[in-house]
Amino acid sequence: MITKPFENTKIILFKTPDEQKLMKDAIKKVESEFGKEYPLIIDGKEIFNSEKIKSTNPSKPSEIVGLVSKASKSQAAEAIEKAYKNFSWWSKESQAKRSAILLRAAEIMRQRKMELSATMVVEIGKNWVEADADTAEAIDFMEYYAREGLRYSQETPLMRINGEDNHQVYIPLGVGIVIPPWNFPLAITTGMTTAALVTGNTVVLKPASDTPVIAYKLVEILKEAGLPDGVLNFVPGSGGEVGDTLVDHPLTRFVSFTGSMEVGKRIYERASKVNPGQKWLKRVVAEMGGKDYIIVDENADLESAANGIVQGAYGFQGQKCSACSRAIIDEKVYDKMVELINERVQKIKVGDTREFPVPDVHYYNMGPVSSASSKAKIMSYMEIGKKEGRLVTGGKEIDLNGGYFIEPTVFADIKPLSKMEQEEIFGPVLSIIKSESFEKSIEIANDTIYGLTGSVYTNDRKKIKKATEELLTGNLYINRGCTGALVGVHPFGGFNLSGTDSKAGGPDYLLLFLQAKVYSEKV
């Protein structure tokens, strides 16, 4: 069925007029659908409720991208019950058919790539390149997991003994709750959902409330690709109401979550309770926050390091769990690095992401942050930063069409163990920390409760070896930025309170949605 090896989808940089026209036309198409109503879906049935989630454009919040029906507690429970019923036959479907559905969905997504990316430009404020990269990653997840599903469907070789015939196979778990984030609203939503589906589980998807429209389009694509009714159920709603109902239900077999540490810990705790009628321990796959760093050694390529820091700190307004929020710099090159970083930050353009001024480095376009509450939280850290360090640039809101815009901000002279060095801000804010040695830099990098991504810039092979051995980071990069993991190339997931180190997009990921069954026959 699959005749060629997996390859990552090429990301469009929109350098040519033809590429730019395609995106402009796609944005106009998406704008023409502003205000459209979208249903929840249970067992293949579309349901329009009176209560709606209003998805707005963070660049201009008066614009309503879509009105998505909000599920009730009883509907959330019904979705699980229907998914449980449908698991009995979907779990027995051939792996070839399940993988084929993912491959067809990937092809449909390629055909709709500009429209999907344009949806993210207006629904969550991604710039064009970042939105295209999000869609490309979603395609990659489906292509990769389709192949991985086939691999896991093969019997596992076991040791042979005389007188017995022994076999190990992998079987699906059951009903999975998928709770994705708003910051990669197509890529991560697609990866989490299709990994569970391709392994034979049924899914109840509760999309992020800031990005339900793009999540609905994924459901639409999977249905078009041939996914049977009832295998994937779509129930938007609040975390405290619908989310808790889904996590607590005794028929829920596993929860796949990506989001903040606070919500992840809450889900982990609730899922650990065995409720009446429940006959298993729920599995939790959790990817949470980060306080990610880039270490710059005294003998590093400083220009390259500055590029990596700025791209990592301000790509998608710093709203990535992998974003560089700490630059840990050797004191011998500290002042020079602060200067190089500031020069680059001054060139960042901030505005409505529907407009695309083509800069020298494409990720230096910044749009709005996700919401009014996110903006308020980030601005509260500006005041903390002014007390704990030296404001180099930024620190203010930008008044533009009522959007949630914030200046790209740099604080220098931040001390280890301060709030700015320890707490995840999730916005366009960089804290620069001076370090007296490479050993001290490693100590600072490891001093948070997180352990997601990090990067080291050095030309010293001994220091590279030391970094790879001592940095407690799920994804560590050498002489490159700390963001931009590729499916199949950089399996992604972190340590400590960054989550369960799921390694999404890697060869171990699908195993999280399967259980091993061994059967032995005396011969």
Contacts 24+ apart (CB under 8 A), 242-248: 242/70, 242/71, 242/72, 242/73, 242/76, 242/206, 243/179, 243/206, 243/267, 244/270, 245/73, 245/76, 245/77, 246/76, 246/79, 246/80, 246/177, 246/179, 246/204, 246/206, 247/177, 247/271, 248/273, 248/275
**Would strands 164-172 and 175-179 be described as parallel, antiparallel, or unpaired?**
unpaired
Taking CA atoms, 318 is separated from 128, 365, 497, in Å, by 16, 12, 19
Q: Measure the CA–CA gap between 393 and 444, rounded to whole angstroms.
A: 24
Q: Cα 343 to chain center, whole Å? A: 29
Q: Measure the CA–CA gap between 187 and 331, rounded to whole angstroms.
A: 39
DSSP 8-class letter at 499: B
Q: How many CB atoms lie within 10 A of CB 291?
A: 27
Environment class of residue 51 by beta-carbon count within 10 Å: exposed (0-12), middle (13-18) or buried (19+)?
exposed
Beta bridge partners, 430, equal 410
Closest CA to 496 of 431, 437, 445: 445
Q: Measure the CA–CA gap between 394 and 107, rounded to whole angstroms.
A: 42
Backbone angles phi, psi at 503, to 5 degrees: 55, 60
Taking CA atoms, 69 is separated from 40, 47, 53, 77, 166, in Å, by 6, 8, 6, 16, 50
- Say which amino acid occupies 79: A
Catalytic residues: 287, 321
Closest CA to 425 of 486, 370, 472, 479: 370
Q: Cα 139 to chain center, whole Å? A: 14
